[in-house]
Amino acid sequence: MKLMTRSLLAPIAVAIAAATLAIPVSLNAELAQGARAPMFATQGALAGKPFAFNLHAALRRGPVVVYFYPKAFTQGCTIEAHAFAEAMGDFEAAHATVIGLSNDDLPTLQRFSTEACRDKFAVAVATPAIIKAYDVELKRPGMPAGLTNRTSYVIARNGTIRLVHSDLNPADHVRLTLEAVRALDTRRH
């Protein structure tokens, strides 16, 4: 009987193990496309100078790309900032604002806005409340608390989320957000 029970349980154990491996380590449940974007205000930096950012006010001017990145001056975050800086002419042509958010302090963001963002777009402080509202906390074993996942949102002028792209690889964030912004611009959102 014990041999028969073990032989029946083995396929179940294998299925459970396979399912567990399929679940990503970061169990983020980023906001869904079509959801209302949480409004926020925070402190940031543009071209090395501090400023106040308010999402509600920015949406009055056009769509907003809100992209979260884990840590200023790390390799992937610097690559992503350079890519956004290079594409700023295209975002501006589509009447979009780009803002990067991380939990870095303001002096770090002031340096990052000049060195990595090349004075082309703003970065701001992702407070714990903003990280929670956008559900972007990076939950990985061994990682410090408060870091954000690399997640990009395109928010239409009416406050709805039109694109969510979450991937620690920075490669596609600029391309996908620019495509989404251009689609909004042609539909006058």
Give pLDDT tens digits for 50-77: 999 999 999 999 999 999 999 999 999 9
CATH of 30-186, one of 3.40.30.10, 3.40.190.290, 3.80.30.20, 3.30.530.20: 3.40.30.10
Q: How many residues comprise the chain?
A: 189
Q: Check residue 28 and give its pLDDT.
A: 46
Q: Check residue 19 and give its pLDDT.
A: 34
DSSP string, the chain: -HHHHHHHHHHHHHHHHHHHHHS-SS----PPTTSBPPP-EEEEEETTEEEEEEHHHHHTTS-EEEEE-S-TTSHHHHHHHHHHHHHHHHHHHTT-EEEEEES--HHHHHHHHHHTSTTSSEEEE--HHHHHHHT-B---TTPPTTPBP-EEEEE-TTSBEEEEEE-SSGGGHHHHHHHHHHHHHHTT-
**Distance from chain centroid for Cα 85:** 16
Give pLDDT tens digits for 92-119: 999 999 999 999 999 999 999 999 999 9
Per-residue pLDDT of the chain (189 residues; tens, 9 = 90+): 444 444 444 443 333 333 333 333 334 458 999 999 999 999 999 999 999 999 999 999 999 999 999 999 999 999 999 999 999 999 999 999 999 999 999 999 999 999 999 999 999 999 999 999 999 999 888 888 889 999 999 999 999 999 999 999 999 999 999 999 999 954 455
Q: Check residue 144 and give its pLDDT.
A: 84
Contact 162, 154 (CB under 8 A): yes
Q: Check residue 57 and give its pLDDT.
A: 98
- The CA R_g of the chain, rounded to the nearest whole Å, is 20
